[in-house]
Chain A
């Protein structure tokens, strides 16, 4: 073709979309709710509902329009809001469930898939509002369908709030006692980011503007496919190939972000360069690692392979976008990745290896099902380990863990849709009770003398 773009390139793009599951994983509108504070809980809920509906009225139709014109699926349309523990702090109520219900109603009215921000930031200590919010989580997540919650319990600058860690273990357990799916909508963070477009951990940070558009790209299938051309070649070539592929994926995300921002009249925030898998075959991060030469994900060599992947995705993506942020990296949610599920079912991939993998990848222990009788203190200890990794390495880590009521190791739990299904994984039997009972804070780590 005499036109600038040749037909091979056009076919390549169409194949990426049709055969390799390339999509924009999410367009997330961040909305500040700080001006919705009110002493009357009903008034606060009404202001929240009205503001979300007003700002996001066109979000879904505009995204659908962009999908149609560019021919690229935008899988999720989502909203993140200011952490509700801040918005509701002056409300005259002990129970924050009505606020979650207001978010849920607004999300349904505007037709989005999820709304994030039923959140508290308590990495150094609790405000009264943080405590009220956290104790409302079990009911809030099981009585609503689209609300997602997150709690930041640690940071590199503040250390780990072990009282929060202890409390969250109990909260997770209580939530799963009502409905395990509730736990899939709760993330416990260390170093949470303010502009994350991905769920369940998205919230609109206080450093953000009034309203913003953040975009999360995906495309593990495209990377795995590109690596099929690199059989037997050295890692230099592997890294280069991933970078080139990530560049293309991110450019597409940036285009969608620009279009959405222009049409909605809302400033563009960031593109999150993430490889987010789905349970569909051929849309798996595990498959990329296996393509690098690992027989099964989870064996020795997995951490190194993931480190290379995570870094190359960022290097390729950074140049393709004007602003990069969010979590940016490879996600390893067990239940949402066919390759991870297969390995966990074979007994190869275990929690200890996943924990090691989280040292070099984007988030943490994500969508892991454990036996229903796992003690709350063990859940807290798992959170503490993960928070320590984030705190010491100055990175975001998170835990999204589901104690599966009435299930044992080897059973399967179904969450439905994008959340997938997970095999119940083994946890260490020893007791962490005395460790968790101590409470207090683990001090912030030294930032020099790094070894």
Chain B
């Protein structure tokens, strides 16, 4: 299992979750967990994903999510989960 965190920030609109999850599915990425919150009119979605079957390299995937996200005015980041574990867990 190759775990990573996908975070999506955008102004709230219809179909953001559907768009992002199908983008992930197209690239053989399994979603392990999702959480969403609305901060004022801003939408924040955080997903724990498994990249084990994803054919793309990390940087290709990161670039793809960025450009496809930007087309819909979504700010999509992908980061290895290690950074959050290092910072928040002893």
B: residues with CB less than 8 A from A are 5, 7, 32-35, 37, 44, 46, 48, 58-59, 62, 77-89
Contact = CB atoms under 8 A, between A and B. Distances in A.
Given A5-B5, A14-B77, A252-B83, 6 more contacts: A1-B48, A9-B88, A10-B46, A13-B83, A248-B87, A255-B86
A7 interface: yes
B84 A9 contact: yes
A69 interface: yes
Contacts of A69: 58-59, 62, 79-80
Contact of A68 (B34, B44, B62): B62
A7 B84 contact: no
Nearest to A255: B86
A71 interface: yes
A72 interface: yes
Nearest to A254: B86
> Which of B32, B48, B89: most chain A CB closer than 10 A?
B48
Given A69-B58, A69-B80, A70-B79, A13 B88 contact: yes
27 contacts: A1-B33, A1-B46, A3-B33, A5-B81, A5-B84, A5-B88, A5-B89, A7-B46, A9-B84, A9-B87, A9-B88, A10-B7, A10-B46, A13-B83, A13-B84, A13-B88, A65-B58, A65-B59, A68-B62, A70-B79, A70-B82, A71-B77, A72-B83, A252-B83, A252-B86, A254-B86, A255-B82
A265 to B, nearest CB: 19
Contacts of B80: 69-70
A104 B32 CA distance: 49
A273 to B, nearest CB: 15
A41 B35 CA distance: 63
A109 B51 CA distance: 35
A10 B83 CA distance: 9
A2 interface: yes
A255 B58 CA distance: 18
B48 A11 contact: no
Contacts of A4: 85, 89
Nearest to B48: A3
A15 B77 CA distance: 12
B59 A255 contact: no
Nearest to B63: A68
B44 A11 contact: yes
Interface in A39-81: 65, 68-72
A251 interface: yes
A10 B32 CA distance: 16
> Which of A10, A13, A70: most chain B CB closer than 10 A?
A10
A68 B58 CA distance: 8
Interface in A1-49: 1-5, 7, 9-14
